[in-house]
Amino acid sequence: MTRPDKLTFAWISLLVLSGATTIVAELVNLGFDPRVTGTLVLFLALMKARIILARYLGLAEAPSWRRGFNLALSLFCLLLLGLYLGPLL
């Protein structure tokens, strides 16, 4: 059996992360803290965005560009997290 190529592996990773996002989002209905579940959903979205940038947009072959995009994306997610958690505290 052959190993899947990088795009197929990225696609499978995105499917798994999307399923995990759905499960985490449903935890609110079971009484979990919305701050924790919201933070986890945002983190999973960040991981999916990093996979898309690295594999589908080809930034895996350009490490300096990938670091720059990851930094900007991480800072944006931190801003979103602050905006989300601010009113809940």
CA distance 7 to 5: 6
The domain limits of the chain are 6-85
The pLDDT of residue 1 is: 56
CB 35 within 8 A of CB 85: yes
SS percent in the chain: helix, strand, coil, step 5: 85, 0, 15
pLDDT exceeding 90 applies to what percent of the chain?
Answer: 83
The pLDDT of residue 4 is: 72
Predicted model pTM: 0.89
Chain-centre distance for alpha carbon 78? 12
Give the SS3 label for residue 36: helix
The pLDDT of residue 87 is: 81
CA distance 41 to 18: 10
CA distance 26 to 69: 30
Half-sphere exposure of 26 (CA within 13 A, CB side): 6
